[in-house]
Structure 1
Amino acid sequence: MITFDPTFEQDALRQRIETFITQQIIPFEKDPRNTAHGPTEELRIELNALARDAGLFTPQVPEALGGMGLDHVSMAIAFEACGLSPLGPIAMHCAAPDEGNMNLLEKVATEAQKERWLKPFVAGEFRSCFSMTEPWGAGADPSELKTTARYDGDGFAVNGVKWLITGAKGAGFTIIFCDVEAQGDKPGGPTMLISGMDEDGIVLSRQIDTLDSSFAGGHWELRFEDLHIPAENVLGEIGEGFRYVQVRLAPARLTHCMRWLGGAVRAQGIALDYARRREAFGKPIGRHGEIGAMLAENEMELQQCRLMVWWACALLDKGAQGRHESSMVKTVVAEALFRVADRCVQVLGGMGVTGDTVVEQIFRETRAFRIYDGPSEVHKWAISRRIMKV
């Protein structure tokens, strides 16, 4: 039976994280190193040290690799709490794209690859990025993949253009989604390859200005120009890239929901506080019907989102693959959290469109969330095909 009552241990963890985020991380939100393109590497390292000292580093990773070894429901509770600040996931080393890449490597990488890439990555020695999205190719439809890899000596030569690659600058490595060209009896097809980011053949073309500003390293367009990748850096099997994309994206959609749920909870708290203190027409604005209704709608949608996330996580903990469930949850939660953030801006009025509170940033972040990891329309199309069985 699925229960929605947190255990004593889960509630205690939530309180620990909320206290840590409130007392130690939120004060850094106005730090000049927290830029329009995300926190700098210097700030990331400082925040990581605080989370490590608090015993709250990499909650999603198995204990054998140095993490907290949380199950999915416990992760949902922990990630919501850390999402109270846009810097919380960065501090606890569970932000995108790193969290998704850790999950993928833990499930697919060879032992040698785990030693070379995953273990120092989990320890916070470097960040990562995931090179899938293309300006005129793979994105919501990965089958439009245009980046290619041809057999070359002891490995592959990769060519192509990727964009909106989160955290590319300053990352220690990238996982590249590309199409390997078959050669004779050598297999081909969609494949994932691992490369250090300091290799010749990787060109960071430009940093892209985006709505969001919470990801370390920002978002980049990059080019691969005959990038050589040795054969031992094939992640999994050649031709199995589509399967591995789902291994990575299904749980990653849910962890996005968890983190941004925390942000929406923070926005609602700020709006509630403002509605209690700000007076207009003879009483606090929260006691006017229109404002009170918006705050009530927020409270209902936040709880609905929380229950949907926990439901999907409980299924994962029971061994389900979660692909279709995560698609439904991501769509519902992304749309609902945007409505919540939008109402919070409206309640705050003029203050809501300024940087005087974090609500303005949370609004921008949740708007982008409706597109990241698949736009709502693509998920609805996939869900309709499944229920129509076509």
Structure 2
Amino acid sequence: MQVMKWSVIALAVAAGTSQLAFASAQSESNGFVEDSSLNVLSRNLYFYRDFRNAGPDRNDDPQEWGQGFIATYESGFTQGTIGFGVDAIGLLGIKLDSGKGRAGSGLFPTGSDGRSQDDYSEAGGAVKLRLSNTVLKYGDQFTALPVLSTDDSRLLPEVAEGFLITSNEIEGLELHAGRFTAINAQAQTYHDSLGLKGADVLGGSYSFTDDLSASLYYSDVEDSFKKYYGNANYTFGISEGQSLNFDFNIYKTDYDKEYTSTGKSEDNTIWSLAAAYNFGAHTVTAAYQKSHGGYDGIGYDYGVDGGGTVWLANSVQRSDFNSEDEKSWQLRYDLDFADFGVPGLKFMARYISGSGAKTETTDNGKEWERDIQVGYTVQNGPAKDLNMRVRQATYRSGDGVYYGSPSIDEVRVILEYPLSIL
């Protein structure tokens, strides 16, 4: 069996080498300055959350408004066999409206007096090397890996520190390997607010065809857990203007005994399957998600490895439906108004229901969430690419499934304008 296993691997490598990209990205480099880019994303965000019927221990309802600027500079690579470059990140958040009784939205750092800071900022840089189509990057960076993903759901994004190798030597195959030693939260400015000691990541994705792709990833987060992730995505073209897409995601997490409150090793497996039917301007999606195992009501856990490390169908605006042994389903509808003569205008509505969650008080905790979003992107003129979104969420749960907050109404108004300077 071992001989057969290595024979299959050898055949796969041989087949892959026949698809080696003839054009090397490094050989086509125009230079450090010539390929440089500088972009600034202006983000204006209003956030309101109403904790309904939450009890006397929670009287404040977060309601804050802020202006954020996310600047990213990426140099080109010097010419030669090995190219050298640098990247830089600059973040600035400004409070426009808040109050002592309205803080805690996650938009700003909060002082000892319970008030949000007037402003906060962060800056970081990274060096990078490129050989052929492989890039090694070390320093501060945003990451979008299923086992280590920086969150960008508030005013400013999380920032990770470490090194990451990204290789695209074979057409359709992208490989990643890296180690990260710090992640700074969205509303913090010091070095490592999430307490990450170290995380090793490894994996990649492969596009078999334009319609079929798969990915496998692994991470080992020091004193926390080991994660295994898999994904398969397939799109079936039914006819002109009609298609059916299937997306399967699965995590297997082995928790270290130092991490769990039980003092012993635990594990969790969570998976989701989504099917989306697209016909013209309409897309209807149905999804099912199931969590197996966990500890003290926690099934799939994440955060120390990045607040966006939850690539599951039912991870939505408020809840992730990821409690111990929880099962959930979702029905979603999307409408693109471009077919009706209004390009840039989009609408989304979804409903998710979960049950069977194990909590401290029950073995059948229930929760549901309804999300509605309307968005518009300006298509031309001086304000071209200005994106405006209004997001509303209604969340209800029983038996403290979600942080003891059983009834929440939430509104977010987001205006984003990307500016390309270089």
TM range (shorter): under 0.3
Relative to the length of structure 1, the TM-score reads 0.26
User: Which structure has the higher relative contact order (CA within 8 Å, separation 6+)?
Assistant: 1
Relative to the length of structure 2, the TM-score reads 0.25
Structure having the larger proportion of residues in helix: 1
